Chain A
Amino acid sequence: AQSVTQLDSQVPVFEEAPVELRCNYSSSVSVYLFWYVQYPNQGLQLLLKYLSGSTLVKGINGFEAEFNKSQTSFHLRKPSVHISDTAEYFCAVSDVVGSNDYKLSFGAGTTVTVRA
Chain B
Amino acid sequence: NAGVMQNPRHLVRRRGQEARLRCSPMKGHSHVYWYRQLPEEGLKFMVYLQKENIIDESGMPKERFSAEFPKEGPSILRIQQVVRGDSAAYFCASSPAVRGDTQYFGPGTRLTVL
Contact = CB atoms under 8 A, between A and B. Distances in A.
Interface string B66-110: 000000000000000000000000010101000110111111100
A100 interface: yes
Contacts, number: 61
A107 B42 contact: yes
Interface size class of A (residues with CB under 8 A): 20 to 34
Given A106-B42, A107-B42, A36 B100 contact: no
B99 A43 contact: no
Interface string A88-105: 001010100001111111
Contacts of B48: 102-103
Contacts of A44: 43, 91, 93, 105
A46 interface: yes
A42 interface: yes
Given A102-B33, A102-B100, A103-B56, A41 B107 contact: yes
A100 B48 CA distance: 10
A24 B53 CA distance: 34
A92 B93 CA distance: 14
Contacts of B21: none
A36 B105 contact: yes
Given A43-B107, A108-B41, A108-B42, A102 B91 contact: no
B31 interface: yes
A106 to B, nearest CB: 4
Contact of B56 (A34, A100, A104): A100
A29 to B, nearest CB: 14
A104 B107 contact: no
A112 interface: no
B111 interface: no
Nearest to A9: B40
B91 A43 contact: yes
Nearest to B102: A46
B21 to A, nearest CB: 14
Pairs A-B, 8 closest by C-beta atoms: A106-B42, A44-B105, A101-B100, A106-B43, A43-B105, A43-B107, A108-B42, A43-B106
